[in-house]
């Protein structure tokens, strides 16, 4: 029999009605044996996520202030779900203990993790499944870094004891029991870790969208869905701004060769997007998707005979490291080197960074170009199809977009271009019209 691990996001568990949708989905397929819930999310646009309420509790507790107001909202949310589903999990006692520990311990990780913990208890009771606390199984070192192999051993050993179970997402602990969390959205990572530990045949990630889209729906009206995508393509698109799945969630299942299926809790019959190690064939459009975001700066360094100067690039990056700012891309020429960085991060160390480059490299000139956006056109078939780059650049030319930077990775799976911030939306739509759907219109029309 196959094993499926299903993770449900906060919007899928925002109230009792959503809990019932989740139960129906899980019980429809007997292969779904382990489920990883997030904390209850927003019920509507004016609502507040339970995790945000818990962070507010911690903020007040750390300042030795009263946490009653936000904690009362957490209590109300959980009790309302339990009451509407007729569940008895001893909430009053558990909430009282959680409140006491938030006040006394003043741990942000402990406070934030309790949304998933409480949601997991409620869901386990609703399903009649075992509840597994990930503290002691999802293991972090004291720097907050996941110990992947120790976690794999602990989780796989524990999961063998249970036929079906609920494992809350987002948190784990250090080896001595201190609660630690992933970054926001980290329940995706827990789901992937559990899928690997269970040696699952499939990892389902249920959210409020029906898979990945070929472009941002805020830019392109009704963009087409990506039916199938490889891990490598997903990594490229996620890095450039596509945000359906937490980036770090790719690696545990990729290592184990487990496919990921992105599904919509509110449209459970939709097949969503399947993410696989290797794809057969190439996307019909020639590309898989388009992603990007604004807010970059380009530091252009020029020096005659740069290419013959040993260690020049290393010294430029040394300056960046000393100033505590990371770089995104390094497009280079014979006598030029460009460092693309987040504009806001550079702004804070701008003068110091320039001065260190001058001291370390003695350049002929340095120029900084702000207000740039990066756009990645991604596709596994790009390297084998003639004319992809030509079509891309013609599309931007015909749309009146000025290309400020071009960078193609060694994998030849994507082409990254830089344009002015104000031309970002125009450029994305032009690329989409050329490769995917020539009749597409802007989202705001």
Burial 225-249 (b: 16+ CB within 10 A, else e): bbebbbbbbbbbbbebbbebbbbbb
Distance CA 90, CA 423 (A): 56
Distance CA 186, CA 178 (A): 17
What pLDDT, on a 0 to 100 scale, did the predictor assign at position 333? 82
Using the predicted structure, report yes or no on whether residue 410 has a pLDDT greater than 60. no
What pLDDT, on a 0 to 100 scale, did the predictor assign at position 284? 61
What pLDDT, on a 0 to 100 scale, did the predictor assign at position 191? 94
pLDDT digits (tens, 9 = 90+) for 349-402: 999 999 999 999 999 999 999 999 999 899 886 766 777 888 999 999 999 999
User: Where in the chain is CATH 3.30.2130.10?
Assistant: 289-435
Calculate the average pLDDT of the chain. Answer: 91
What pLDDT, on a 0 to 100 scale, did the predictor assign at position 29? 96
Q: Is residue 51 helix, strand or coil?
A: helix
- The share of the chain scoring above pLDDT 90, in percent, equals 73
Q: Closest Cα partner for 112 from 124, 98, 123, 126?
A: 98
- The share of the chain scoring above pLDDT 70, in percent, equals 95
Q: Are 159 and 198 in contact (CB under 8 A)?
A: yes
Q: Work out the average pLDDT over 334-361.
A: 93
Distance CA 445, CA 443 (A): 6
**Which of 3.40.50.720, 3.40.1010.20, 3.90.320.10, 3.40.1160.10 is the CATH number of 4-208?**
3.40.1160.10
pLDDT digits (tens, 9 = 90+) for 113-172: 999 999 999 999 999 999 999 999 999 998 889 999 999 999 999 999 999 999 999 999
Using the predicted structure, report yes or no on whether residue 280 has a pLDDT greater than 60. yes
pLDDT digits (tens, 9 = 90+) for 5-18: 999 999 999 999 99
pLDDT digits (tens, 9 = 90+) for 12-59: 999 999 999 999 999 999 999 999 999 999 999 999 999 999 999 999
Structure tokens at 388: 């992809």
Distance CA 140, CA 149 (A): 11
Q: Work out the average pLDDT over 340-354.
A: 93
Strand ranges of the sheet holding 365-378, from the earlier edge strand across to the other edge: 336-342, 289-302, 365-378, 414-420, 405-408
Opening angle at CA 139, ends 10 and 177, nearest 5: 95
User: Where in the chain is CATH 3.40.1160.10?
Assistant: 4-208
What pLDDT, on a 0 to 100 scale, did the predictor assign at position 282? 65
pLDDT band at 209; cut points 50, 70, 90: confident
Partnered with residue 418 across adjacent β-strands are 374, 405
Using the predicted structure, report yes or no on whether residue 247 has a pLDDT greater than 60. yes
pLDDT digits (tens, 9 = 90+) for 301-324: 999 999 888 999 999 999 999 999
pLDDT band at 283; cut points 50, 70, 90: low
Indicate the helix (H) or strand (E) that contains 110: helix 108-127
Distance CA 339, CA 59 (A): 37
What pLDDT, on a 0 to 100 scale, did the predictor assign at position 361? 94
What pLDDT, on a 0 to 100 scale, did the predictor assign at position 444? 80
SS3 for 368-423, per residue? EEEEEEEEEEECCCHHHCCCHHHHHHHHHHHCCCCCCEEEECCCCCEEEEEEEHHH
- At the fourth CATH level, which superfamily is domain 289-435? VC0802-like (3.30.2130.10)
């Amino acid at each position: 029999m196959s094993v499926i691990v299903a993770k449900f996001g906060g919007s899928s568990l925002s109230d009792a009605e959503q809990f019932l949708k989740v139960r129906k989905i899980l019980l429809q397929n007997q292969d779904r044996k382990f489920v990883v819930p997030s904390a209850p999310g927003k019920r509507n646009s004016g609502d507040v996520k339970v995790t945000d309420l818990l962070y507010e509790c911690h903020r007040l507790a750390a300042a030795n202030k009263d946490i009653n107001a936000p904690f009362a909202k957490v209590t109300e949310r959980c009790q309302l779900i339990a009451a509407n589903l007729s569940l008895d999990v001893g909430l009053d006692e558990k909430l009282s203990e959680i409140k006491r520990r938030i006040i006394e311990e003043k741990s942000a990780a402990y406070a934030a993790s309790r949304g998933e913990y409480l949601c997991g208890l409620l869901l386990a009771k609703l399903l009649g499944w075992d509840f597994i606390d990930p503290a002691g199984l999802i293991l972090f070192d004291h720097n907050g870094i996941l110990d992947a192999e120790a976690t794999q051993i602990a989780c796989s050993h524990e999961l063998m004891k249970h036929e079906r179970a609920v494992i809350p997402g987002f948190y784990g602990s250090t080896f001595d029991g201190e609660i630690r969390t992933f970054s926001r959205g980290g329940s995706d990572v827990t789901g992937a870790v559990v899928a690997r530990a269970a040696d699952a045949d499939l990892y389902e990630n249920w959210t409020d969208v029906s898979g990945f889209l070929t472009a941002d729906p805020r830019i392109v009206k009704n963009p087409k869905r990506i039916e199938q995508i490889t891990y490598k393509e997903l990594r490229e698109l996620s890095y450039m701004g596509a945000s359906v799945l937490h980036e770090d969630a790719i690696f545990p299942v990729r290592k184990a060769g487990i496919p990921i299926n992105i599904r919509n809790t509110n449209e459970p019959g939709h097949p969503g997007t399947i993410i696989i190690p290797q794809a057969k064939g190439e996307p019909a459009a020639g590309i898989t998707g388009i992603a990007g975001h604004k807010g970059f700066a380009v530091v252009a360094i020029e020096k005659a005979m740069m290419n013959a100067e040993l260690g020049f690039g290393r010294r430029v990056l040394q300056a960046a490291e000393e100033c505590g700012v990371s770089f995104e891309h390094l497009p280079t020429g014979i006598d030029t080197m460009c460092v693309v960085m987040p504009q806001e991060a550079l702004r804070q160390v701008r003068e110091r960074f320039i001065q260190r480059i001058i001291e370390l490299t003695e350049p002929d000139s340095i120029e900084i170009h702000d207000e740039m956006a990066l756009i990645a056109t991604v596709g596994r078939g790009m390297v084998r199809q003639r004319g992809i780059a030509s079509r891309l650049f013609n599309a931007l030319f015909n749309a009146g977009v000025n290309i400020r930077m071009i960078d193609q990775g060694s994998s030849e799976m994507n082409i990254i271009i830089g344009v002015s911030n104000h031309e970002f939306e125009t450029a994305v739509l032009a690329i989409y019209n050329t490769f995917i759907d020539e009749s597409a219109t802007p989202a705001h029309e």
